[in-house]
Structure 1
């Protein structure tokens, strides 16, 4: 079943087989997703490369190579998967790695695919190993082997599949096994957005939502969104709520500043957890270095939360340094908190060697 819009774009019918269910956030984001690659803001390199791959496939009247999209959460990997299906005028099947824990789960999905259909696997690095091995064969030869029976009497029955396209999304491309990575014909890495790109996204979404917003209000939100459209859209909703309840209904700079202050987002985009990490480092541990688990206990969070939620932005913006001896605050962190660092803390942070690998350390 197809559904064409007035702008000649194609609505890729999504069949979600992930049992996560529908949520308000998912419906909100789906309503704002661009439907054509030309309308996708930011990521010009990936957009141009993907446009070439899709156009060539359409001219050959064949499914394109499998596509792997990597990058931090909230940058548009799911939106690009929906756009790929729409550009190909094919339906899309959506599932996720954690939902496929057995080879039989994947076999059930693959065996029901139609010719040319797009299979979107979110967080593909979290698939179970037996399912990964089945996916290798399906992506390369378009067939799967169904094992019937157990032990010496087990029989493999080959099941032919129609040509289809896998779009995989991952936030941790390094965790993908090499045999799986090699089966993707195109790999695109999404980077954080500039404030200008985020302002363009917010202006478009404010129009779609019927929000009366000023340019200064949009720029205020864009500058505090950590380069991430998902965060920008979430802040847009909160500022809209504030403007409707406490303001004139117009999303201007004053409403944006007041709302973001209420929700603990400062002028550099740091939230409560970010500042708690920096406060603990500077006030309790003299700037560090301090182990990850000790730092997590100090802020009342799990180690994984500190490492995956707060650290990436703090390191990228230069507030935090990861070293073999632990986490250390940079001079910028002391400055942001309005604190004067000890002389030895400043020198120590500048002279500490950076962490060599991506593994976890500190106790």
Structure 2
């Protein structure tokens, strides 16, 4: 079954082009995140007036809310080139030194999942962000020497889904930090409207609202659901994406009325039916659904907790009456241990 929340990136060049085309290129076109947009606009305008590079920027928040897109917008509106990298790709100080030394003056460096960089690279980044300089160690032991290397001024845009894992010295060197929030359904409808027009898939208001309602507050998911609806229409030879077609397409991909997929429902079903509402340990719950505990914790839990279907306690995970109701289980069953959060 396809997991439309976090599917692998498209490999086909045409699909990659579509993904890129759906990204807004300016803050004016970026939907939602009003406070962050206003703050970023001020930061970029100030840098432009003073003819300098923008301060370093840290963007935090759940996946799919637009951190990468905002980094691209920073580079575009600053009229600077953009370099893309990721924390897992920087596992040695030498990796970071090679990357930083190749930057051109004013270039914007985007590091996704910046909290996953190696500790030695993080420590090198402190000096680079503050003084645009790094120290390269040559040799080993008592004969080792440090050679300073000046860097071209640059703007670092770091993105993280777990800002609490960033060490304070690194976090403090960002001139601006922002946390992206989940989107409201009305904002997601605007995202779907814009994307559907670009994909050539006309949608009536009710169909746009249905996709937005099943998108878990996340624009990336909204765009992926829209593309699955497009595929459904192409295969079935339908010209109009009405509410019935949208419902049929999303049901085919196992996305229910509130955006839960197969794995979400399997976790809830195990928690409510097999463990009678909990509490149950994370590792036990993961074994029950045949999935890794890390996947349950990082992919499934956040949304179920946010919508009030699951709770986390010192004794384990618990289910709520709302979760039982969604599964069609009677909450007044005396054997269930359901909890109001």
TM superposition score normalised by structure 2 = 0.94
For residues 99 and 42 of structure 2, what CA distance do their matches in structure 1 show? 28
Q: CA deviation at 1:167?
A: 0.1
Query: Contact 2:134–2:151 at 8 Å: present in 1 too?
Result: yes
SS of match in other structure, 2:157: strand
Q: CA deviation at 1:23?
A: 3.1
Please tell me whether residue 23 in structure 1 is matched to residue 11 in structure 2. Answer: yes
Q: CA deviation at 1:244?
A: 2.1
Deviations 1:232-281 (A, max 9, x none): 11100111111222252211111100111111111111111110011001
Structure 1 gaps, min length 5: 1-19, 352-363
Please tell me whether residue 315 in structure 1 is matched to residue 300 in structure 2. Answer: no
SS of match in other structure, 2:43: helix
In the other structure, the counterpart of 2:113 is 123
Q: Compared with structure 1, are the counterparts of its residues 269 and 110 closer, same or farther at alpha carbon in structure 2 (3 Å cutoff)?
A: same
Q: Compared with structure 1, are the counterparts of its residues 119 and 203 closer, same or farther at alpha carbon in structure 2 (3 Å cutoff)?
A: same
SS of match in other structure, 1:37: coil
For residues 167 and 196 of structure 1, what CA distance do their matches in structure 2 show? 28
In the other structure, the counterpart of 1:360 is none
How many pairs are equivalent? Answer: 332
In the other structure, the counterpart of 1:254 is 244
Q: Give structure 1 regions of 4+ aligned residues with deviation exceeding 6 angstroms.
A: none
Match for 1:284 among 260, 267, 274?
274
For residues 315 and 52 of structure 2, what CA distance do their matches in structure 1 show? 53
TM superposition score normalised by structure 1 = 0.89
For residues 85 and 28 of structure 2, what CA distance do their matches in structure 1 show? 26
SS of match in other structure, 1:73: coil
Q: CA deviation at 1:347?
A: 6.4
For residues 34 and 236 of structure 1, what CA distance do their matches in structure 2 show? 17
More contact order relative to length (CA 8 Å, sep ≥ 6): 2
For residues 162 and 21 of structure 1, what CA distance do their matches in structure 2 show? 32
Q: Compared with structure 1, are the counterparts of its residues 249 and 127 closer, same or farther at alpha carbon in structure 2 (3 Å cutoff)?
A: same
Q: CA deviation at 1:21?
A: 9.7
SS of match in other structure, 2:110: strand
Deviations 1:304-350 (A, max 9, x none): 11111110000000000100000010010011011113565666523
Tell me the C-alpha RMSD between the 2 structures: 1.6
In the other structure, the counterpart of 1:187 is 177
In the other structure, the counterpart of 1:96 is 86
